[in-house]
Amino acid sequence: MTVWLGVGSIPAVLAHDEEAHPPISPQISSKGLDASASTILQDCERDAHYVMRQLTVLATRESQEQGVNVMQKIISAWEQEEFYCHPNAHHLGRFSFNLFEGDVSQALTHTDNTCGNSLYHGVLENFLQVPMKSESRKADELDIATTCAKVEQSPHSNTRRQCFHGMGHALAKVYDHDIFQTAPRCEQFKNWHEQDMCLDGTFMENHVEIFNGGKGVSSKDDLYSPCNAVVEQCQYRCYVYQAYYMLRANHYEYAIAFKACEQIPSQSEHLIGTCIGGVVNYLTVRKFFNDSDAMATMCAEVNPKYQKNCRNLVVFALIHYVALI
């Protein structure tokens, strides 16, 4: 059974590395929202674990509404500083889950697409990790089938979509980034769209873990691993993110990455286009965002039969990215 602590309902099981951080300031909750947020940011120096601990203290003394307001001020400040806030904002999603006593629907209701939807990811991560830590439950025993189904009934709702996507991230973590265990759990959702969003989260998490030097599944000797080893219905989402790995492996030489995409073992036109699209999306947003000439040059390097799709994908990537900022 999870033990919740005081007003604000923060679970004791999720204390974060207390010995590694400065002591918590006892004055934070008495300073008001703006001052509390400023004090936390001033002390934390972008240490998301420390922010989490400070917010936890504040929430045990103040209302849920005040906890949400301070959290929103912190994440807004991170965005304004223009550093990549997605990984750190995962922690704020976990805090939101704790703040609403494990009520996923409530936590997601107070979440938005800030920092690339990372708050959704954090909510779902704690949804799975809390019972594993507090109740010693195994990953295979976790009930995932009904949680997201309760979140906004419209299948086109971004909150609902991000719930399934976040579940994919969370499953990858509780299975220690073993995608061959995680992907079958995504298949437990009732329709293709829900399964696909879950798989998207799973393979994104695998990519992030590889990028950070962790336990993600990949092979230095095989550019197409693990996508060439997963079942067919998983390959589409896998190659979306495998494209990033191909870029890094080829020192971001996109002409080489495009050719690698065209050599996908299955020679599926659909998967080749997906891989090329992953390369285009990454470079458009991360490298060439303000350089239309570079985007045009990039698309000129693609096999002619994919060039029109390349230009369309550039436009889509720009629109999608702008919608998130």
* Per-residue confidence in pLDDT tens, the chain, 325 aa: 333 333 333 343 343 333 333 333 334 334 455 666 777 776 665 677 778 888 888 878 778 888 888 888 888 877 776 556 777 888 888 889 988 988 888 888 888 888 878 888 899 999 998 888 888 888 888 888 888 877 766 666 788 888 899 999 999 999 999 999 999 999 989 889 999 999 999 999 999 898 888 788 988 899 999 999 999 989 999 999 999 999 998 999 999 999 999 999 988 999 999 999 999 999 998 899 889 999 999 999 999 999 999 999 999 888 877 655 5
Confirm whether 285 is domain-assigned: yes
Confirm whether 315 is domain-assigned: yes
Q: How many CB atoms within 10 Å of residue 171?
A: 28
Confirm whether 259 is domain-assigned: yes
Confirm whether 298 is domain-assigned: yes
Q: How many CB atoms within 10 Å of residue 207?
A: 21
Confirm whether 191 is domain-assigned: no
Q: Residue 152: what pLDDT? A: 67
Residue 119, CA distances (Å) to 88, 89, 104, 263 in order: 9, 6, 12, 37
The DSSP annotation for 114-168 comes to HHHHHHHHHHHHHHHHHHHHHS---GGG---TTTGGGS-S-TT-HHHHHHHHHHH
Alpha-carbon span 169 to 21, nearest angstrom: 27
**What global pTM score does this model have?**
0.79
209 Cβ contact list (under 8 Å, min separation 6): 172, 177, 215, 216
Instruction: Supply the range of the domain harboring residue 295.
Output: 247-325
Total domains, the chain: 1
The closest of 318, 5, 3 to 134, measured between CA atoms, is 3
Q: Residue 90: what pLDDT? A: 85
Confirm whether 316 is domain-assigned: yes
100 φ, ψ (degrees, to nearest 5): -100, 30
Alpha-carbon span 249 to 78, nearest angstrom: 30
Q: Residue 131: what pLDDT? A: 86
In this structure, is the dihedral angle defined by the CA atoms of residues 111, 169, 211 and 17, taken in order, positive or negative? positive
Residue with tokens 């025993």: 141
Alpha-carbon span 218 to 227, nearest angstrom: 9
Confirm whether 96 is domain-assigned: no
22 φ, ψ (degrees, to nearest 5): -60, 160
Q: Residue 44: what pLDDT? A: 64
Residue with tokens 């230009």: 311
Q: Residue 19: what pLDDT? A: 33
Alpha-carbon span 160 to 105, nearest angstrom: 10
Confirm whether 208 is domain-assigned: no
